[in-house]
A and B are shown apart, each in its own frame.
Chain A
């Protein structure tokens, strides 16, 4: 079946421009996560959506970053006034949450969007 889909796969932008990154989770998955991975580093949590609950935005690095999830499915991560330090791979994941003990952290990841800010 279809996995988590992210677009674009690569994005090159100029410093100061806004960018939007899209994530299509696995159908039926109620939880959606955004992470970013800088070159040679581990993954950094950004934001988490679960059903109709208020999102957990505790990982967003600045107010230039925002995300929304429309209709409980597709999510868009927006970075305003991009800076060079925003260059990274942005990864989206989804999970079923209700799949039993410990299952909520079985997350399925997309291939990511590689963002380069010049």
Chain B
């Protein structure tokens, strides 16, 4: 079973920041938080991952709370091409356990 809880769907206006929350209250000390997304009819795409500290790359920022029980993926300036299902995954093994994710709809 997935160890994370995400909202089923979210909307975001183009150009605005998209903030996608994820709860992982049972996370253990050595488990990383990974974010992937899946655009329609494509394979999942890695976005970012982190352990304790906030992380930023060219795609997004990852904010992890101090107790590590939740995190937020931030797309700073959402575009229509960011419309996808976003998966938050917590694991330290070799298998990614995907839940149902958040369907983000970016509208003009």
Contact status B97-A112, CB under 8 Å: no
Nearest residue (CB) in B for A111 is B43
Contact status B51-A101, CB under 8 Å: yes
Judged by a CB distance under 8 angstroms, whether A48 is at the interface is yes
Contact status A105-B34, CB under 8 Å: yes
Contact status B95-A56, CB under 8 Å: yes
Q: How large is the interface on A (under 10, 10 to 19, 20 to 34, 35 or more residues)?
A: 20 to 34
Total A-B Cβ pairs within 8 A: 60
Instruction: Please report whether the interface of chain B is mostly helix, strand, loop or mixed according to DSSP.
Output: loop
Task: Write the B39-50 contact mask toward A (1 if CB under 8 angstroms, else 0).
Answer: 000111110011
Chain B positions within 8 Å of A112 at CB level: 43
Judged by a CB distance under 8 angstroms, whether A65 is at the interface is no
Contact status A93-B43, CB under 8 Å: yes
Determine which of B49, B100, B101 lies in contact with A102 in the assembled complex, contact meaning CB atoms within 8 Å: B49
**Residues on A close to B: CB < 8 A?**
4, 31, 33, 35, 41-45, 48, 50, 56, 59, 91, 93, 101-102, 104-112
